[in-house]
A and B are shown apart, each in its own frame.
Chain A
Amino acid sequence: MRALVDEYFGFIARSLRRLGVPEFELDDAAQQVFLVAATKVDRIVAGNEKAFLFGIGLRVASQSRRARRRRVAGEGAAAAESMTSVAVTPEQIAAERQARALLDEILDAMPENVRAVFTLFELEELTMAEIAKLLGVPPGSVASRLRRGREIFHDQAARLRSRQGGTGGKR
Chain B
Amino acid sequence: MTTPSRLSQEGGGADSFEAALLRSARNDGASAKRERTLAALAIAGVAGSVAAGTVAGTRSTGAVLQAIKSLGWLKSVAVLGLGLGVGGGVVGLVAFHHDARRADRTSAAIALPSVMAPVKEPDDLKPPPLPAAPVSPPAVAAAPARAQIVGPRGHAVKASPRAVGSADSLMEEASLLDRARLLLVQRDGAGALRIADGYLARFPQGRLASEAQVIRIRAALLTGGPAVAAPLARAFLRAHPDSPHAEALRKISQAAPAADGPGAP
Q: Which residues of A pack against B, CB within 8 Å? A: 1-6, 9-10, 12-18, 22-28, 30-32, 34-35, 38-39, 41-42, 44, 63, 68, 71-72, 75, 79, 82, 89-90, 93-94, 96, 99-100, 102-103, 106, 119, 121-123, 125, 127-129, 132, 139, 143, 146, 150, 153-154, 157, 161, 166, 168-171
Q: How far is the CA of A30 from the CA of B36 in the complex (A)?
A: 9
Place the interface of chain B in its size category: 35 or more
Given A100-B24, A128-B3, A139-B1, answer yes or no on A5-B186 (Cβ-Cβ < 8 Å): no
Return the CB mask of B171-203 against A: 1 if under 8 Å, else 0: 000000000000011110000000000000000
List the one stretch of B14-22, B102-110, B157-165 in contact with chain A. Answer: B14-22
Q: By the criterion CB–CB under 8 Å, are B41 and A38 in contact?
A: yes
Q: Which residues of B pack against A, CB within 8 Å? A: 1-4, 6-8, 13-18, 20-34, 36-38, 40-41, 44, 46-47, 50, 53-54, 59-62, 64-65, 68-69, 72-73, 184-187, 218, 221-222, 224-227, 248, 251-252, 254-257
Given A13-B29, A90-B20, answer yes or no on A41-B251 (Cβ-Cβ < 8 Å): no
Q: By the criterion CB–CB under 8 Å, are B185 and A90 in contact?
A: no
Q: How far is the CA of A30 from the CA of B34 in the complex (A)?
A: 8
Q: By the criterion CB–CB under 8 Å, are B41 and A3 in contact?
A: no
| Interface class of chain A by DSSP | helix
7 nearest A-B pairs in the assembled complex, by CB-CB distance: A13-B29, A168-B17, A169-B16, A99-B24, A13-B32, A14-B29, A71-B225
By beta carbon, the residue of chain A nearest B22 is A122
**CB neighbours of A18 from chain B (8 A):** 25, 28
Q: By the criterion CB–CB under 8 Å, are A79 and B13 in contact?
A: no
**CB neighbours of A24 from chain B (8 A):** 221, 226, 248, 251-252, 254-255
Q: How far is the CA of A171 from the CA of B44 in the complex (A)?
A: 50
Q: By the criterion CB–CB under 8 Å, are A34 and B21 in contact?
A: no
Q: How far is the CA of A93 from the CA of B15 in the complex (A)?
A: 13
**CB neighbours of B4 from chain A (8 A):** 146
Q: Contact partner of A171 among B14, B46, B184, CB < 8 A?
A: B14
- Nearest-neighbour CB distance to chain B for A26, whole angstroms, equals 5
Q: Which of B29, B226, B248 has the most CB of A within 10 A?
A: B29
